[in-house]
Amino acid sequence: MGFREDFIWGAATASYQVEGAAREDGRGESIWDRFSHTPGKVFHGDTGDVACDHYHRFAEDAALMRELGIRNYRFSVAWPRLMPEGTGAVNQKGIDFYNRLIDTLLEQGITPFMTLFHWDYPSALQARGAWENPDSPKWFEDYVALCARSFGDRVHNFLTFNEPQCFIGLGYVKGIHAPGLLLPDSSTIPMSHHVLKAHGLAVKALRELAPGACVGYAPCGEPCIPASDSEADIEAARRSYFGVTDDWSWSISWWSDPALLGAYPEQGLQKFGRYLPRGWERDLEIIHQPLDYYAQNIYNGHVVRAADNADGWENVPFPAGAPKTAIQWFVSPDALYWGPKFLYERYKTPFLITENGMSCHDAVSLDGKVHDPNREDYMHRYLLAYRRAAEEGVDARGYFAWSLMDNYEWASGYNERFGLVHVDYQTQKRTVKDSAYWYKRVMESNGVIL
Ligand code: GCO
Protein backbone atom coordinates (compact mmCIF):
# COMPACT_ATOMS: atom_id res chain seq x y z
CA MET A 1 0.00 0.00 0.00
CA GLY A 2 1.09 3.62 0.28
CA PHE A 3 1.63 5.79 -2.76
CA ARG A 4 1.89 4.18 -6.19
CA GLU A 5 5.40 3.31 -7.32
CA ASP A 6 5.56 5.99 -10.01
CA PHE A 7 4.17 8.69 -7.71
CA ILE A 8 5.31 12.15 -8.88
CA TRP A 9 7.10 14.12 -6.15
CA GLY A 10 8.02 17.69 -6.90
CA ALA A 11 8.07 21.37 -6.06
CA ALA A 12 6.41 24.34 -7.73
CA THR A 13 6.89 28.01 -8.55
CA ALA A 14 5.26 30.54 -10.89
CA SER A 15 6.83 33.00 -13.33
CA TYR A 16 5.95 36.38 -11.82
CA GLN A 17 6.66 35.11 -8.32
CA VAL A 18 10.26 34.05 -9.01
CA GLU A 19 11.64 35.20 -12.36
CA GLY A 20 12.29 38.93 -12.00
CA ALA A 21 13.91 40.41 -15.14
CA ALA A 22 10.59 42.13 -15.67
CA ARG A 23 11.83 44.51 -18.32
CA GLU A 24 14.56 42.40 -19.82
CA ASP A 25 15.03 40.79 -23.21
CA GLY A 26 11.86 42.15 -24.73
CA ARG A 27 9.34 40.94 -22.16
CA GLY A 28 6.04 42.80 -22.47
CA GLU A 29 4.15 44.25 -19.52
CA SER A 30 1.74 42.10 -17.53
CA ILE A 31 -1.17 43.20 -15.38
CA TRP A 32 0.92 42.22 -12.33
CA ASP A 33 3.68 44.68 -13.32
CA ARG A 34 1.10 47.42 -13.56
CA PHE A 35 -0.72 46.44 -10.36
CA SER A 36 2.39 45.97 -8.20
CA HIS A 37 3.65 49.39 -9.27
CA THR A 38 0.36 51.04 -8.30
CA PRO A 39 0.77 52.57 -4.84
CA GLY A 40 -1.32 50.95 -2.12
CA LYS A 41 -2.07 47.70 -3.93
CA VAL A 42 0.63 45.39 -2.57
CA PHE A 43 2.04 45.05 0.93
CA HIS A 44 5.09 47.29 1.39
CA GLY A 45 4.89 48.33 -2.26
CA ASP A 46 6.76 45.15 -3.21
CA THR A 47 7.01 44.27 -6.91
CA GLY A 48 8.17 41.25 -8.90
CA ASP A 49 10.79 43.32 -10.79
CA VAL A 50 13.60 41.21 -9.36
CA ALA A 51 11.82 38.59 -7.20
CA CYS A 52 14.18 35.59 -6.82
CA ASP A 53 16.09 36.51 -9.99
CA HIS A 54 15.32 33.00 -11.22
CA TYR A 55 15.61 34.35 -14.77
CA HIS A 56 19.36 34.59 -14.23
CA ARG A 57 19.84 32.00 -11.49
CA PHE A 58 17.78 29.12 -12.87
CA ALA A 59 20.87 26.95 -13.40
CA GLU A 60 21.92 27.35 -9.77
CA ASP A 61 18.31 26.65 -8.74
CA ALA A 62 18.14 23.52 -10.88
CA ALA A 63 21.40 22.25 -9.38
CA LEU A 64 19.95 22.85 -5.92
CA MET A 65 16.81 20.93 -6.86
CA ARG A 66 18.88 18.00 -7.93
CA GLU A 67 20.80 18.10 -4.66
CA LEU A 68 17.49 18.15 -2.78
CA GLY A 69 16.15 15.16 -4.69
CA ILE A 70 13.43 17.17 -6.42
CA ARG A 71 12.83 15.25 -9.64
CA ASN A 72 9.80 17.17 -10.92
CA TYR A 73 9.59 20.95 -11.23
CA ARG A 74 6.34 22.77 -11.86
CA PHE A 75 6.91 26.29 -13.22
CA SER A 76 4.87 28.65 -15.36
CA VAL A 77 5.48 30.54 -18.57
CA ALA A 78 5.06 34.31 -18.62
CA TRP A 79 2.81 34.92 -21.62
CA PRO A 80 4.14 38.48 -22.19
CA ARG A 81 7.70 37.16 -22.31
CA LEU A 82 6.75 35.10 -25.34
CA MET A 83 4.23 37.46 -26.90
CA PRO A 84 4.79 40.99 -25.57
CA GLU A 85 1.47 42.23 -26.97
CA GLY A 86 -0.36 39.01 -26.04
CA THR A 87 -1.03 38.18 -29.69
CA GLY A 88 0.98 38.42 -32.89
CA ALA A 89 4.71 39.06 -32.70
CA VAL A 90 6.81 36.45 -30.93
CA ASN A 91 9.78 37.43 -28.76
CA GLN A 92 12.48 34.89 -29.57
CA LYS A 93 14.48 35.84 -26.48
CA GLY A 94 11.57 34.73 -24.31
CA ILE A 95 11.44 31.37 -26.06
CA ASP A 96 15.22 31.09 -25.63
CA PHE A 97 14.90 31.59 -21.88
CA TYR A 98 12.42 28.75 -21.42
CA ASN A 99 14.51 26.56 -23.71
CA ARG A 100 17.54 27.18 -21.49
CA LEU A 101 15.48 26.42 -18.40
CA ILE A 102 13.98 23.22 -19.84
CA ASP A 103 17.31 21.94 -21.17
CA THR A 104 19.00 22.62 -17.84
CA LEU A 105 16.26 20.79 -15.95
CA LEU A 106 16.55 17.79 -18.23
CA GLU A 107 20.33 17.75 -17.85
CA GLN A 108 19.82 17.62 -14.10
CA GLY A 109 17.35 14.75 -14.42
CA ILE A 110 14.35 16.92 -13.49
CA THR A 111 11.05 16.52 -15.34
CA PRO A 112 9.41 19.82 -16.31
CA PHE A 113 5.71 20.41 -15.53
CA MET A 114 4.71 23.53 -17.42
CA THR A 115 1.81 25.68 -16.22
CA LEU A 116 0.65 27.74 -19.18
CA PHE A 117 -1.07 30.47 -17.22
CA HIS A 118 -0.30 31.48 -13.68
CA TRP A 119 -1.73 35.00 -13.72
CA ASP A 120 0.74 37.28 -15.52
CA TYR A 121 -1.73 38.32 -18.21
CA PRO A 122 -0.45 40.66 -20.95
CA SER A 123 -1.45 44.28 -20.25
CA ALA A 124 -2.03 44.74 -23.97
CA LEU A 125 -4.86 42.19 -23.80
CA GLN A 126 -6.24 43.70 -20.64
CA ALA A 127 -6.65 46.90 -22.67
CA ARG A 128 -8.69 44.90 -25.19
CA GLY A 129 -11.20 43.73 -22.59
CA ALA A 130 -9.29 40.74 -21.25
CA TRP A 131 -11.38 37.62 -20.67
CA GLU A 132 -14.60 39.50 -21.31
CA ASN A 133 -13.68 39.77 -24.98
CA PRO A 134 -15.19 36.85 -26.97
CA ASP A 135 -11.87 36.60 -28.84
CA SER A 136 -9.96 35.93 -25.61
CA PRO A 137 -10.15 32.11 -25.84
CA LYS A 138 -8.57 32.29 -29.29
CA TRP A 139 -5.76 34.55 -28.02
CA PHE A 140 -4.97 31.96 -25.38
CA GLU A 141 -5.18 29.11 -27.88
CA ASP A 142 -2.60 30.84 -30.12
CA TYR A 143 -0.26 31.40 -27.19
CA VAL A 144 -0.60 27.77 -26.06
CA ALA A 145 0.02 26.55 -29.61
CA LEU A 146 3.25 28.54 -29.59
CA CYS A 147 4.26 26.88 -26.30
CA ALA A 148 3.38 23.43 -27.65
CA ARG A 149 5.37 23.99 -30.85
CA SER A 150 8.35 25.49 -29.03
CA PHE A 151 8.60 23.21 -26.02
CA GLY A 152 6.45 20.15 -26.68
CA ASP A 153 9.38 18.08 -27.95
CA ARG A 154 10.88 18.12 -24.40
CA VAL A 155 7.98 19.03 -22.11
CA HIS A 156 5.45 16.22 -21.72
CA ASN A 157 3.36 17.56 -18.85
CA PHE A 158 1.21 20.67 -19.13
CA LEU A 159 -1.31 22.41 -16.92
CA THR A 160 -3.62 24.90 -18.59
CA PHE A 161 -4.86 27.31 -15.90
CA ASN A 162 -3.80 27.82 -12.32
CA GLU A 163 -6.64 28.79 -10.00
CA PRO A 164 -9.19 30.61 -12.14
CA GLN A 165 -10.98 31.19 -8.82
CA CYS A 166 -8.19 33.60 -7.96
CA PHE A 167 -7.30 35.32 -11.19
CA ILE A 168 -10.95 36.01 -12.02
CA GLY A 169 -12.37 36.10 -8.47
CA LEU A 170 -9.65 38.08 -6.74
CA GLY A 171 -8.69 40.05 -9.85
CA TYR A 172 -12.03 41.09 -11.35
CA VAL A 173 -14.73 40.34 -8.75
CA LYS A 174 -13.04 41.39 -5.50
CA GLY A 175 -10.32 43.69 -6.83
CA ILE A 176 -7.54 42.59 -4.48
CA HIS A 177 -5.32 41.05 -7.14
CA ALA A 178 -4.35 42.42 -10.56
CA PRO A 179 -5.91 44.14 -12.36
CA GLY A 180 -7.78 45.25 -9.23
CA LEU A 181 -11.25 45.62 -10.70
CA LEU A 182 -14.68 45.23 -9.12
CA LEU A 183 -16.87 44.15 -11.99
CA PRO A 184 -20.48 42.93 -11.87
CA ASP A 185 -21.58 39.33 -12.52
CA SER A 186 -22.76 40.42 -15.96
CA SER A 187 -19.07 40.92 -16.85
CA THR A 188 -17.37 38.26 -14.78
CA ILE A 189 -19.67 35.32 -15.60
CA PRO A 190 -18.90 35.75 -19.32
CA MET A 191 -15.22 35.96 -18.34
CA SER A 192 -15.46 32.63 -16.54
CA HIS A 193 -17.05 31.06 -19.60
CA HIS A 194 -14.30 32.38 -21.86
CA VAL A 195 -11.62 31.05 -19.50
CA LEU A 196 -13.25 27.63 -19.63
CA LYS A 197 -13.48 27.79 -23.41
CA ALA A 198 -9.82 28.83 -23.54
CA HIS A 199 -8.97 25.79 -21.42
CA GLY A 200 -10.77 23.50 -23.88
CA LEU A 201 -9.10 25.07 -26.92
CA ALA A 202 -5.72 24.82 -25.18
CA VAL A 203 -6.17 21.12 -24.49
CA LYS A 204 -7.10 20.53 -28.13
CA ALA A 205 -4.06 22.48 -29.34
CA LEU A 206 -1.76 20.52 -27.03
CA ARG A 207 -3.19 17.19 -28.20
CA GLU A 208 -2.55 18.18 -31.78
CA LEU A 209 0.85 19.84 -31.45
CA ALA A 210 2.40 17.91 -28.57
CA PRO A 211 1.01 14.42 -29.11
CA GLY A 212 1.41 12.10 -26.17
CA ALA A 213 1.65 14.93 -23.65
CA CYS A 214 -0.21 14.64 -20.34
CA VAL A 215 -2.52 17.58 -19.81
CA GLY A 216 -4.18 18.79 -16.63
CA TYR A 217 -6.04 21.71 -15.11
CA ALA A 218 -5.32 23.21 -11.68
CA PRO A 219 -8.17 25.04 -9.98
CA CYS A 220 -8.39 25.41 -6.18
CA GLY A 221 -10.92 25.46 -3.37
CA GLU A 222 -11.21 24.80 0.32
CA PRO A 223 -12.25 21.22 1.01
CA CYS A 224 -15.18 20.72 3.34
CA ILE A 225 -14.30 18.30 6.12
CA PRO A 226 -17.27 16.39 7.58
CA ALA A 227 -17.68 17.07 11.31
CA SER A 228 -18.10 13.33 11.94
CA ASP A 229 -18.14 10.05 10.06
CA SER A 230 -21.93 10.02 9.97
CA GLU A 231 -23.46 9.75 6.49
CA ALA A 232 -25.40 12.94 7.19
CA ASP A 233 -22.28 15.00 7.89
CA ILE A 234 -20.42 13.48 4.93
CA GLU A 235 -23.29 14.34 2.61
CA ALA A 236 -23.50 17.85 4.09
CA ALA A 237 -19.78 18.38 3.41
CA ARG A 238 -20.13 17.06 -0.13
CA ARG A 239 -23.06 19.39 -0.86
CA SER A 240 -21.30 22.38 0.57
CA TYR A 241 -18.06 21.58 -1.29
CA PHE A 242 -19.74 21.40 -4.69
CA GLY A 243 -22.39 24.03 -4.10
CA VAL A 244 -22.49 27.38 -5.89
CA THR A 245 -23.20 30.21 -3.48
CA ASP A 246 -23.52 33.92 -4.32
CA ASP A 247 -19.73 33.94 -3.97
CA TRP A 248 -19.65 31.89 -7.19
CA SER A 249 -16.12 32.82 -8.21
CA TRP A 250 -14.80 30.68 -5.36
CA SER A 251 -16.83 27.64 -6.41
CA ILE A 252 -15.24 24.34 -7.38
CA SER A 253 -18.08 22.98 -9.45
CA TRP A 254 -18.59 26.14 -11.54
CA TRP A 255 -14.98 25.96 -12.63
CA SER A 256 -14.64 22.17 -12.89
CA ASP A 257 -17.95 20.58 -13.91
CA PRO A 258 -17.95 22.07 -17.44
CA ALA A 259 -14.35 20.91 -18.05
CA LEU A 260 -14.69 17.48 -16.43
CA LEU A 261 -18.40 16.65 -16.79
CA GLY A 262 -19.46 18.79 -19.75
CA ALA A 263 -22.13 20.78 -17.89
CA TYR A 264 -22.44 23.75 -15.56
CA PRO A 265 -23.75 22.82 -12.10
CA GLU A 266 -27.52 23.22 -11.92
CA GLN A 267 -27.39 25.46 -8.84
CA GLY A 268 -24.98 27.80 -10.64
CA LEU A 269 -27.11 27.92 -13.77
CA GLN A 270 -30.17 28.85 -11.74
CA LYS A 271 -28.36 31.74 -10.12
CA PHE A 272 -26.09 32.99 -12.88
CA GLY A 273 -27.00 31.24 -16.13
CA ARG A 274 -28.65 34.39 -17.46
CA TYR A 275 -25.26 36.10 -17.68
CA LEU A 276 -23.60 33.40 -19.78
CA PRO A 277 -22.76 34.55 -23.31
CA ARG A 278 -25.11 33.58 -26.11
CA GLY A 279 -24.35 30.14 -27.52
CA TRP A 280 -22.69 28.91 -24.34
CA GLU A 281 -24.31 25.49 -24.68
CA ARG A 282 -22.48 24.88 -27.94
CA ASP A 283 -19.13 25.68 -26.29
CA LEU A 284 -19.51 22.89 -23.74
CA GLU A 285 -18.28 20.40 -26.28
CA ILE A 286 -15.03 22.39 -26.65
CA ILE A 287 -14.70 22.91 -22.89
CA HIS A 288 -15.21 19.24 -22.05
CA GLN A 289 -11.92 17.64 -23.14
CA PRO A 290 -10.49 14.41 -21.78
CA LEU A 291 -7.78 15.21 -19.22
CA ASP A 292 -4.86 13.17 -17.95
CA TYR A 293 -4.91 14.90 -14.58
CA TYR A 294 -7.36 16.80 -12.52
CA ALA A 295 -5.12 18.86 -10.26
CA GLN A 296 -5.83 21.03 -7.26
CA ASN A 297 -3.94 23.41 -5.04
CA ILE A 298 -5.02 22.65 -1.48
CA TYR A 299 -3.78 24.44 1.63
CA ASN A 300 -6.64 24.33 4.10
CA GLY A 301 -10.19 23.21 4.63
CA HIS A 302 -13.02 23.89 7.03
CA VAL A 303 -15.43 21.70 8.94
CA VAL A 304 -19.06 21.27 7.87
CA ARG A 305 -21.95 19.46 9.52
CA ALA A 306 -25.52 18.59 8.60
CA ALA A 307 -28.07 21.24 9.56
CA ASP A 308 -31.78 21.66 9.52
CA ASN A 309 -31.80 24.66 7.17
CA ALA A 310 -32.44 25.31 3.48
CA ASP A 311 -28.87 24.33 2.50
CA GLY A 312 -28.77 21.23 4.65
CA TRP A 313 -25.31 22.15 5.98
CA GLU A 314 -23.52 24.68 8.16
CA ASN A 315 -19.91 25.56 8.89
CA VAL A 316 -18.40 24.59 12.23
CA PRO A 317 -15.96 27.24 13.49
CA PHE A 318 -12.45 26.20 14.47
CA PRO A 319 -11.94 26.05 18.24
CA ALA A 320 -10.22 28.94 20.02
CA GLY A 321 -6.45 28.86 19.51
CA ALA A 322 -6.54 26.34 16.65
CA PRO A 323 -3.17 26.27 14.82
CA LYS A 324 -2.68 28.67 11.95
CA THR A 325 0.08 29.34 9.43
CA ALA A 326 1.80 32.73 9.23
CA ILE A 327 -0.66 33.84 6.53
CA GLN A 328 -3.46 33.01 9.00
CA TRP A 329 -4.82 29.93 7.25
CA PHE A 330 -5.97 27.16 9.59
CA VAL A 331 -3.85 24.02 9.67
CA SER A 332 -6.36 21.39 8.60
CA PRO A 333 -4.62 18.23 7.33
CA ASP A 334 -7.89 16.35 6.73
CA ALA A 335 -8.36 18.69 3.76
CA LEU A 336 -5.88 16.45 1.97
CA TYR A 337 -7.99 13.41 2.69
CA TRP A 338 -11.52 14.70 2.05
CA GLY A 339 -10.59 17.02 -0.83
CA PRO A 340 -9.03 14.31 -3.02
CA LYS A 341 -11.77 11.84 -1.97
CA PHE A 342 -14.67 14.06 -2.95
CA LEU A 343 -12.94 15.33 -6.11
CA TYR A 344 -12.04 11.88 -7.33
CA GLU A 345 -15.51 10.57 -6.56
CA ARG A 346 -17.03 13.34 -8.69
CA TYR A 347 -14.53 13.72 -11.52
CA LYS A 348 -13.05 10.20 -11.73
CA THR A 349 -9.82 11.56 -13.21
CA PRO A 350 -6.25 10.81 -12.07
CA PHE A 351 -5.53 13.29 -9.34
CA LEU A 352 -2.56 15.57 -8.62
CA ILE A 353 -1.82 17.98 -5.82
CA THR A 354 -0.11 20.81 -7.66
CA GLU A 355 0.40 22.95 -4.53
CA ASN A 356 0.46 22.40 -0.80
CA GLY A 357 2.64 23.98 1.85
CA MET A 358 2.75 26.68 4.47
CA SER A 359 4.11 30.13 5.16
CA CYS A 360 6.18 30.43 8.34
CA HIS A 361 8.16 33.21 9.98
CA ASP A 362 11.42 31.73 8.69
CA ALA A 363 14.80 33.32 9.29
CA VAL A 364 18.44 32.29 9.08
CA SER A 365 19.54 31.33 12.61
CA LEU A 366 22.87 32.07 14.29
CA ASP A 367 24.08 28.66 13.13
CA GLY A 368 23.49 29.73 9.52
CA LYS A 369 20.59 27.31 9.04
CA VAL A 370 16.83 27.74 8.72
CA HIS A 371 14.91 25.63 11.24
CA ASP A 372 11.28 25.24 10.27
CA PRO A 373 9.80 22.38 12.29
CA ASN A 374 6.30 23.75 11.78
CA ARG A 375 6.53 23.29 8.01
CA GLU A 376 7.83 19.77 8.39
CA ASP A 377 4.98 18.93 10.77
CA TYR A 378 2.43 20.55 8.46
CA MET A 379 3.61 18.62 5.40
CA HIS A 380 3.88 15.42 7.40
CA ARG A 381 0.28 15.63 8.58
CA TYR A 382 -1.08 16.59 5.16
CA LEU A 383 0.86 13.85 3.38
CA LEU A 384 -0.41 11.24 5.83
CA ALA A 385 -3.96 12.33 5.04
CA TYR A 386 -3.27 12.24 1.29
CA ARG A 387 -1.72 8.78 1.58
CA ARG A 388 -4.81 7.57 3.40
CA ALA A 389 -6.97 8.84 0.52
CA ALA A 390 -4.68 7.03 -1.95
CA GLU A 391 -4.91 3.80 0.05
CA GLU A 392 -8.69 4.06 -0.02
CA GLY A 393 -8.83 4.20 -3.78
CA VAL A 394 -8.18 7.78 -4.90
CA ASP A 395 -5.99 7.59 -8.00
CA ALA A 396 -3.39 9.94 -6.48
CA ARG A 397 -0.62 10.52 -9.02
CA GLY A 398 1.55 13.12 -7.37
CA TYR A 399 2.30 15.96 -4.99
CA PHE A 400 4.09 19.27 -5.55
CA ALA A 401 5.22 21.29 -2.57
CA TRP A 402 4.54 25.00 -2.71
CA SER A 403 7.08 26.31 -3.06
CA LEU A 404 10.60 25.45 -4.14
CA MET A 405 11.75 28.74 -2.65
CA ASP A 406 10.42 31.81 -0.88
CA ASN A 407 8.94 34.17 -3.44
CA TYR A 408 6.60 37.03 -4.28
CA GLU A 409 3.29 36.21 -2.62
CA TRP A 410 1.09 38.43 -4.80
CA ALA A 411 -0.70 41.15 -2.79
CA SER A 412 1.28 40.10 0.29
CA GLY A 413 4.58 40.89 -1.45
CA TYR A 414 7.59 39.33 0.23
CA ASN A 415 5.84 39.16 3.58
CA GLU A 416 5.07 35.43 3.36
CA ARG A 417 7.67 32.71 3.09
CA PHE A 418 6.35 29.46 1.59
CA GLY A 419 9.68 28.05 0.38
CA LEU A 420 11.60 24.87 1.07
CA VAL A 421 14.56 27.12 0.37
CA HIS A 422 15.00 30.48 2.08
CA VAL A 423 15.76 33.49 -0.12
CA ASP A 424 17.52 36.60 1.15
CA TYR A 425 16.07 39.20 -1.24
CA GLN A 426 18.93 41.64 -0.63
CA THR A 427 21.67 39.24 -1.67
CA GLN A 428 19.68 36.50 -3.45
CA LYS A 429 21.44 33.98 -1.26
CA ARG A 430 19.58 30.66 -1.05
CA THR A 431 19.63 28.73 2.25
CA VAL A 432 18.10 25.28 2.35
CA LYS A 433 15.53 24.97 5.16
CA ASP A 434 15.44 21.90 7.40
CA SER A 435 12.09 20.89 5.89
CA ALA A 436 13.71 20.47 2.46
CA TYR A 437 16.10 17.86 3.84
CA TRP A 438 13.18 16.11 5.51
CA TYR A 439 11.14 16.26 2.26
CA LYS A 440 14.10 14.73 0.44
CA ARG A 441 13.96 11.68 2.67
CA VAL A 442 10.20 11.44 2.24
CA MET A 443 10.54 11.52 -1.55
CA GLU A 444 13.36 8.98 -1.53
CA SER A 445 11.21 6.58 0.48
CA ASN A 446 8.14 7.28 -1.69
CA GLY A 447 6.34 8.38 1.46
CA VAL A 448 7.03 5.18 3.40
CA ILE A 449 8.80 7.01 6.24
CA LEU A 450 5.81 9.25 6.93
C1 GCO B 1 -2.08 30.67 -5.37
C2 GCO B 1 -0.99 30.39 -6.28
C3 GCO B 1 0.36 30.48 -5.66
C4 GCO B 1 0.44 31.05 -4.27
C5 GCO B 1 0.23 29.99 -3.22
C6 GCO B 1 0.26 30.51 -1.80
O7 GCO B 1 -2.72 29.75 -4.97
O8 GCO B 1 -2.28 31.82 -4.99
O9 GCO B 1 -1.15 29.28 -7.08
O10 GCO B 1 0.90 31.33 -6.59
O11 GCO B 1 1.64 31.66 -4.06
O12 GCO B 1 -0.98 29.37 -3.39
O13 GCO B 1 -0.77 31.41 -1.59
Q: Going residue by residue through the chain, which has 450 residues, state the pLDDT in tens, using 9 for 90 and above.
A: 899 999 999 999 999 999 999 999 999 999 999 999 999 999 999 999 999 999 999 999 999 999 999 999 999 999 999 999 999 999 999 999 999 999 999 999 999 999 999 999 999 999 999 999 999 999 999 999 999 999 999 999 999 999 999 999 999 999 999 999 999 999 999 999 999 999 999 999 999 999 999 999 999 999 999 999 999 999 999 999 999 999 999 999 999 999 999 999 999 999 999 999 999 999 999 999 999 999 999 999 999 999 999 999 999 999 999 999 999 999 999 999 999 999 999 999 999 999 999 999 999 999 999 999 999 999 999 999 999 999 999 999 999 999 999 999 999 999 999 999 999 999 999 999 999 999 999 999 999 999
Does 67 qualify as catalytic in the annotation?
no
Distance between CA atoms of residues 406 and 396, nearest Å: 26
Largest CA distance in the chain: 63
Calculate how far, in angstroms, residue 281's C-alpha sits from the geometric centre of ligand 1. 32
Distance between CA atoms of residues 302 and 285, nearest Å: 34
For a substitution probing ligand 1, which of 176, 297, 353, 423 has the most ligand atoms within 8 Å of its CB? 297
Q: Are 73 and 111 a contacting pair, CB within 8 Å?
A: yes
In the chain, what are the helix, strand and coil shares in percent, each to the nearest 5?
45, 15, 40
Contacts of 54 (CB under 8 A, 6+ apart): 13, 18, 19, 20, 61
Distance between CA atoms of residues 314 and 308, nearest Å: 9
Helix count and strand count (H, E) for the chain:
16, 13
Distance between CA atoms of residues 388 and 382, nearest Å: 10
Q: Which of 19, 29, 355, 409 is catalytic?
A: 355
Calculate how far, in angstroms, residue 58's C-alpha sits from the geometric centre of ligand 1. 20
Calculate how far, in angstroms, residue 257's C-alpha sits from the geometric centre of ligand 1. 22
| SS3 state of residue 49 | coil
Contacts of 25 (CB under 8 A, 6+ apart): 81, 91, 93, 94, 97
Element of type H or E holding 287: helix 280-287
Give strand pairing partners of 399: 9, 353
List all residues whose CB is within 6 A of at least one atom of ligand 1.
14, 17, 162-163, 166, 220, 297, 355, 402, 409, 418
Q: Atom 4, ligand 1: which residue's CA is nearest?
A: 409
| SS3 state of residue 101 | helix
Calculate how far, in angstroms, residue 21's C-alpha sits from the geometric centre of ligand 1. 20
Q: Are 121 and 34 a contacting pair, CB within 8 Å?
A: no
Does 231 qualify as catalytic in the annotation?
no
